[in-house]
Amino acid sequence: MGAARWMCGRTRAASDYNDSGKSILEEETVNISGLLQGLAAISWIAFIGLLALVFARASRGQATRGLTTGVIALLVIAILVTSIGVGLVFIEPDEIGMVVTVFGGGGIRPQPLAAGLHWVIPFAERVERYSIRNQAYTMSIVTGEGQVPGDDSIQVRTKDGQQVDIDATVIYAIDQSKAVTLYKTWGNGYQDGLVRPSARGIIRDAASQYGVEEIVTSKRAEMQQIITERLTDVLATNNLVLREFVLRNIRFSAEYTAAVEQKQISEQQAQQAKYIVEQKRQEAEQARQVAQGQADAAVIAAKGAADARVIQAQAEAEANQLLSQSLTPQLLQYQYIIKLAPNVQTIFVPSGNQFILPLPTTPQ
């Protein structure tokens, strides 16, 4: 619904203008003015013609009483129509008009003329027009962007002594309720006499409170806010309204730009060196951990071998103990006999001995 009303409003606004770009009201005013000028011309021609006829009849001694009345009537009509046509003024929808009195010290009406058709006293008053649209004043280094040809950027010396060039745009409008006072104070020179010098001075003062790196990084928004607040106060004091302050661009000197680039290169190199050192540290730590692992593995292996030998020795000792406990004379004689050579068939033993060799004795 809101969109529909807006579109209707746009359609009506567009229909208020003809193909030549003039508003319908302005065209109608021009037509009325042309019609009045035509009537005035006809009235003056008729007046002059009738006046000539009166003089001609008077020179011949003929009666002119009725003609004299017509001459007076035509004179009044011509003056009236001419006055109406000359005093007719049309104020555009985006304008207001200051009515200045030509005589009597050049006074001004206390209230400006609003948009529409008005009439002022011919030859005694004139109309000075003020646009009530938003106006933009741009200061830029780029030719053709700003109101002043060539480089019109603001050169600023920062807190740390660096020079920067600032491009900016001030968007403002006339305070309609104080337009008469503005006209009395500045006339039509408020842009060059007030907006431009005020903006440039406030920008320089604000930027000089910061270092060059602060302006382009952490403090840029803060600086823009300070400029906006100060400029708002100055314009309001002089009957203007600040709509917006735009900090367009900030440029550095060639020397500082080169220094910044070199600093960035150095920082990148330092970062790369730091990365390499960290990489080497990680590699050394990895090698240390591998060596530590290998050492730990060797210790564990040696400990395992020692433990194995202890276990084996203990097992052998226990086996020997069990073996010694199981030995008997009969077992020893048996083992002794079976260890003889298998091809021995006859054994000679002395008298009174069982074997040729004494039998081994069991341990006590």
Cα 335 to Cα 224: distance, rounded to the nearest angstrom:
115
Based on the fold, state whether residues 246 and 148 are members of the same structural domain: yes
- Bridge-partner residues for 136, per DSSP? 171
Name the residue type at position 337. Answer: I
Tell me, yes or no, whether 343 lies in a domain: yes
Q: Are residues 246 and 271 in the same domain?
A: no
Question: How many CB atoms within 10 Å of residue 267?
Answer: 10
Domain co-membership, 109 together with 191: no
How many domains are there within the chain? 4
Same domain, 106 and 70: yes
Domain that holds residue 21: 15-131
Query: CB of 172 within 8 A of CB of 241?
Result: yes
Distances in Å between the alpha carbon of 47 and those of 61, 101, 168? 21, 30, 62
Based on the domain organization, do 237 and 284 belong to the same domain?
A: no
Rg of the chain (C-alpha set): 59
Same domain? For 156 and 194 the reply is yes
Residue 294 lies in a domain: no
* 159 and 209 both lie in a single domain: yes
The answer on 107 and 165 residing in a single domain is no
Q: Evaluate whether residue 305 is within a structural domain.
A: no
Does 30 share its domain with 80?
Answer: yes
**Does a structural domain hold residue 173?**
yes
Are residues 46 and 102 both part of a single domain? yes
Which of 116, 131, 146 represents a domain boundary (last residue)? 131
Does residue 300 sit within a domain?
A: no
Residues 141 and 242 in one domain: yes
Same domain, 90 and 144: no
User: How would you write 121-187 as a 3-class SS string?
Assistant: CCCCEEEEEEECCCEEEEECCCCCCCCCCCCCCEEEECCCCCEEEEEEEEEEEECHHHHHHHHHHHC
The number of angstroms, rounded, from the C-alpha of 14 to the middle of its chain's C-alpha atoms is: 34
pLDDT in tens, the chain (364 residues): 333 333 333 333 434 444 444 555 555 555 665 666 677 677 778 778 777 777 777 777 766 666 777 777 777 777 777 777 677 788 888 999 988 887 766 688 888 888 888 888 877 888 889 999 999 999 998 887 888 888 889 999 888 888 889 999 999 999 999 999 999 999 889 999 999 999 999 999 999 999 888 887 888 999 999 999 999 999 999 999 999 999 998 887 666 655 555 665 566 667 777 887 888 888 888 888 888 888 888 888 888 888 888 888 888 777 777 767 776 766 666 666 776 656 666 555 555 555 545 555 545 5
Residue with tokens 């077992």: 331
What is the C-alpha to C-alpha distance for residues 31 and 93, in angstroms, rounded to an integer? 18
Establish if 349 belongs to a structural domain. Answer: yes
